[in-house]
């Protein structure tokens, strides 16, 4: 069957039911675009917002072809951030991306392909997760003969709906932050709505980037763990004590977590790969390629924190 001509108003989205994906879906719809989303089960929230749903997963080539057919842009958000093994990361983040790229080549030639990667992909030797995200980038970059690749490497993303950063936010709200003893380390952050805005901008403006885009919240020097504690204390008007944990202690905790999760086939609550990422000294976004785009971040941490905590409380998560 010949591929339909690309429709610039139609966006195919993976990961629409996840934390980042829901914000992206909302932002794309607000921009007047039609949206087709890959879902494993019906989602009334997306359906009532006018999103066309395609049942299936990244392991279903037929569903992927139905998802991307005629789309002018593809935004690939879906993937695993925690998994029980390197094989599981490869299956979801690498093989899933390969299938989506193959479907796009057949059914959406010329479409913009926006991949949501991770800043961790800069250091693929640190963890299986970082490796899998870098391999996914390679697959998308290699498809430049048929698609318009745009790779986005967010730093740590937080905001309403995020379960991954909930433990840190809960600690800040309670006035005690447990963090790695890595005082020289710096990292960038981005509020989820700012990331969704960037992805929508990438869809609308196109222009394949020669380098991965590394957005942040506009703080040039990034953050240290002490900065998070101090900013939270000032914003919440209560002391926040920082307790720094040595790497040896955190590695022991990761070994125990991995051992307890292995018989169950579940992702560990803490892994040695995650410890390696936490102690890596430089997770500052470099912003190459962003200067030429209209996107600018709007929400610094001191504003994003109370917004996020307010949402958590309203939903009963805190």
Q: Is residue 210 part of a domain?
A: yes
pLDDT beyond 90 at 122 = yes
Q: Is residue 32 part of a domain?
A: yes
Q: Is residue 213 part of a domain?
A: yes
Scan for tokens 């921009």, then name that residue.
31
CB contact set of 176 (below 8 Å; sequence gap of 6+): 240, 241, 243
Tell me, what's the pLDDT at 5? 77
Q: Is residue 264 part of a domain?
A: no
The strand ranges marked E within 31-70 are 34-39, 52-55
Q: How confident is the model at residue 207 (pLDDT cuts 50, 70, 90)?
A: low
CA distances, 139 to each of 100, 145, 242, 248, 301 (Å) = 10, 12, 41, 36, 33
Cα–Cα distance measured from residue 61 to residue 3, given in angstroms and rounded to the nearest whole number: 15
Q: Is residue 29 part of a domain?
A: yes
Cα–Cα distance measured from residue 311 to residue 318, given in angstroms and rounded to the nearest whole number: 9
63-81: pLDDT as tens digits? 999 999 999 999 999 999 9
Can you say whether the dihedral through the CA atoms of 137, 141, 143, 149 is positive or negative?
A: positive
Distance of CA 195 to the CA centre of its chain: 9
pLDDT beyond 70 at 208 = no
When mean pLDDT is compared across 147-156, 165-174, 290-299, the lowest value belongs to 290-299
Cα–Cα distance measured from residue 71 to residue 73, given in angstroms and rounded to the nearest whole number: 5
Tell me, what's the pLDDT at 6? 81
Q: What is the mean pLDDT of the chain?
A: 95
Range of the domain at 108: 7-157+188-220+284-299
Tell me, what's the pLDDT at 293? 84
pLDDT beyond 90 at 2 = no
* pTM score, whole prediction: 0.95
Q: How many domains does the chain have?
A: 1
Tell me, what's the pLDDT at 229? 97
Give me the CATH number covering residue 203.
3.40.50.720
Q: How confident is the model at residue 87 (pLDDT cuts 50, 70, 90)?
A: very high
pLDDT beyond 90 at 286 = yes
Q: Is residue 167 part of a domain?
A: no
Q: Is residue 117 part of a domain?
A: yes
> Is 120 within 8 Å of 133 (Cβ atoms)?
yes
pLDDT beyond 90 at 94 = yes
Main-chain phi, psi angles of 305, to 5 degrees: -60, -55
Cα–Cα distance measured from residue 292 to residue 145, given in angstroms and rounded to the nearest whole number: 23
When mean pLDDT is compared across 47-56, 131-140, 237-246, 277-286, the lowest value belongs to 47-56
> Is 224 within 8 Å of 185 (Cβ atoms)?
yes
Q: Is residue 115 part of a domain?
A: yes
Cα–Cα distance measured from residue 32 to residue 16, given in angstroms and rounded to the nearest whole number: 17
pLDDT beyond 90 at 284 = yes
């Amino acid at each position: 069957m010949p591929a339909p001509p690309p429709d610039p108003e139609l966006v195919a989205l993976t990961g629409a039911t996840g934390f980042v994906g829901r914000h992206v879906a909302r932002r794309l719809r607000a921009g007047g675009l039609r949206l087709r989303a890959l879902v494993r089960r019906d989602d009334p929230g997306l359906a009532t917002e006018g999103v066309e749903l395609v049942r299936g997963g990244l392991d279903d080539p037929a569903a992927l072809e139905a998802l991307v057919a005629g789309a002018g842009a593809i935004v690939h958000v879906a993937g695993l951030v925690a998994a029980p093994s390197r094989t599981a990361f490869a299956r979801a983040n690498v093989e899933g991306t390969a299938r989506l790229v193959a479907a796009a080549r057949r059914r959406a030639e010329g479409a913009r392909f926006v991949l949501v990667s991770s800043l961790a992909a800069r250091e693929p030797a640190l963890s299986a997760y970082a490796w899998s995200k870098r391999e996914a980038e390679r697959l998308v970059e290699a498809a430049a003969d048929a698609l318009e690749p745009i790779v986005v490497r967010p730093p740590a993303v937080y905001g309403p709906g995020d379960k991954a950063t909930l433990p840190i936010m809960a600690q800040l709200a309670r006035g005690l932050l447990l963090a790695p003893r890595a005082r020289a380390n710096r990292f960038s952050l981005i509020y989820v709505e700012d990331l969704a805005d960037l992805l929508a901008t990438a869809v609308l403006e196109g222009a394949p980037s020669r380098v991965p885009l590394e957005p942040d919240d506009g703080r040039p020097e990034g953050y240290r763990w002490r900065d998070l504690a101090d900013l939270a204390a000032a914003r919440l008007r209560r002391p926040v004590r920082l307790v720094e944990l040595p790497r040896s202690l955190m590695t022991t905790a990761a070994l125990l977590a991995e051992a307890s999760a292995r018989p169950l086939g579940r992702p560990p609550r803490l892994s040695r790969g995650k410890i390696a990422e936490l102690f890596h000294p430089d997770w500052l976004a470099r912003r190459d390629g962003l200067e030429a785009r209209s996107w600018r971040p709007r929400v610094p941490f001191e504003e994003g924190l109370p917004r996020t905590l307010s949402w958590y409380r309203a939903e009963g998560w805190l």
